[in-house]
Amino acid sequence: MSGTGQRLERVVESALYVDDLARSWRFYVDVLGGEVLLDSARLLALSIGGMSVLLLFQRGATSEPLPTPGGVVPPHGAIGIQHIAFAVPDKVALESWATRLEHHGVEIESRVHWQRGGESIYVRDPDGHSVELITPGLWVIY
């Protein structure tokens, strides 16, 4: 916390960079249930649980500044394998997700039981990004 008492509240947006937005749509919307907020040639913006936004950017489409009516969005991007974790409420829900993923042909790469009692399953999205579904009990704050 800064000396002025200012404090960040939460992460609003997270971004992944993908090679094929249509393929990512099938994974993040059809399989994981993200709700589409914006669909363009540049990005797919998804509501995750009505609490946060996952931005799926077409790889390379953000390398130049983007002028908007309200200002300029600076360039950004990433290469390589990235990671994101999604909260699930409990272990019963996690097992339901495991069944759903397997039904959609998504292989569970790993399961981890955390010392604080949480449990994670890890899968790969179509671009090879590490996607984690996790119950409470990993972090002190989750």
pLDDT for 89 equals: 97
51 Cβ contact list (under 8 Å, min separation 6): none
Query: Which residues, 6+ apart, have CB-to-CB distance to 78 below 8 Å?
Result: 15, 16, 17
Domain boundaries defined on the chain: 1-63, 81-142
Handedness of CA 43, 17, 102, 47 (dihedral sign): negative
For the 1-63 domain, the top CATH level (class) is: alpha beta
Q: How confident is the model at residue 2 (pLDDT cuts 50, 70, 90)?
A: low
DSSP bridge partners of 17: 57
- Is the per-residue pLDDT at 141 higher than 60? yes
**Which of 90, 89, 97, 142 minimizes the C-alpha distance to 121?**
97
pLDDT confidence of 3, banded at 50, 70, 90?
low
81-142: CATH number? 3.10.180.10
- Position 1 pLDDT exceeds 60: no
Q: What are the tens digits of pLDDT across the range 71-106?
A: 999 999 999 999 999 999 999 999 999 999 999 999
Strand 52-58 and strand 13-18: the pairing is parallel
Tell me how far apart the terminal alpha carbons of the chain are, to the nearest angstrom: 19
